[in-house]
Every structure is written in structure tokens, then in C-alpha cells.
A = this chain, B = another copy of it.
């Protein structure tokens, strides 16, 4: 039996989900709340397996709520449900421990599937949201910067905090040899110091 808690401020949405989910043999909605605060005052979260959590809530925002829930009840699978597919919120919620992210226009069958997937250790995600998540993986550069092996090696060492002297020992070059590569890196990356180069390299997944 999978116990479900719903946190959602819209009454009709809540009732709709409850009806859909409770109709299933192996699913049981054990509580519904209008806000995270209400949920924390009660004791049902401790008995749940899966939480359906709205993003836009009065009081504590869903993206923060998931963090608190995961802190208190690490065993819980929290699935976010949303009307807008706003990038920033998606990433914040996922970063804070949400394991799935559904669009509110999900079909009843898909909702039921999603709960099962969550319980089985998978991550249910609506395709358009999955798209955004995947896009964030892809190298963000439109013009793709090609670094040589030596440059990647040196940049990696820079990101690990090595000084030029330290790097020169690692790669068996003179300090000026290292500097030669670093100059080229700065040109390619259009930066002018170590930190910016490292930041750009990491963000563009160059190292």
C-alpha cells in the first residue's frame, strides 16, 4: 500500500487527485493540506510514502517546503506539481530534493503511474519538464570552444587550486610553459583571470 499526502491550496485540484488516487487498490490518500505549515502541524507526513506538493503555495513556497520535508522525513518521495514550467523553480525544487516534477495538466492514468514510479525509485517527469532538465545538461555555448588536451589538463588543475608552479610540476613544463597555455585558455574563453576561467569552464562543461 502506498500512502499519499497532498499539499495543494486549490480545493478542486486536491479533491480531484484524491478521487483519482483513492480509486486505486494500492493507493491511499491519508491526508490533504492547504499549505506546508498545516502539514507540519499534523502528524500524517510521518506515515506517508509519497507527497504531492504544489509549487505555488500560500506561506512556505513549495520549493522551500520540499527541503523541510526532506530534512524531517528523508524516506519520503516528494513530487512537485505545477502549472507553470518556470526553469528557476524547477531547478530549485530538484536541488532541494524533489524526485519528480509533474505538470498539473497530467492525465489521471499518468498521475497514478507517476506515484508508482516514485515509489519504485524512479523519477516521474512530464516530458516538457524533462526537456528543460536535459537542456541544462547540454553545453550552453552556441559557439563551441575547443580546448586542447593540455589546456583541459591545466584548467582542471587550476580548478583544484594549483598555482602555476604546482601545475608546472604536474605537467612537466616550465612555469612559463604553463603560462603559455593559460594565456591561450584566456583568449579562447575570453576571460582574464583564473577564477573567471574556471567558472566559465565549469559552467560550459569544458572540464
Contacts and interface: CB of A to CB of B under 8 A. Distances in A.
A134 B131 contact: no
A193 interface: yes
Interface in A73-131: 91, 94-100, 117, 120-128, 130-131
B123 A161 contact: no
A202 B199 contact: yes
B137 A91 contact: yes
A115 to B, nearest CB: 12
A122 to B, nearest CB: 3
Contacts of A205: 95
Contacts of A195: 158-159, 161, 194-195, 197-198
Contact of A202 (B120, B127, B193, B202): B202
A204 B17 CA distance: 36
- Give the contact-size bracket for chain A: 35 or more
Contact of A191 (B137, B158, B161, B197): B161
Per assembly, the copies of the chain total: 2
Which residue, A131, A163, A202, has most C-beta atoms of chain B within 10 A? Answer: A131
B125 A125 contact: yes
A165 interface: no
Given A134-B94, A138-B95, A195-B194, A124 B123 contact: no
B123 A134 contact: yes
A94 B198 contact: no
Contact of A94 (B124, B128, B137, B159): B137
10 contacts: A96-B138, A122-B128, A123-B128, A123-B133, A123-B134, A158-B195, A159-B196, A160-B196, A161-B192, A161-B195
A117 to B, nearest CB: 4
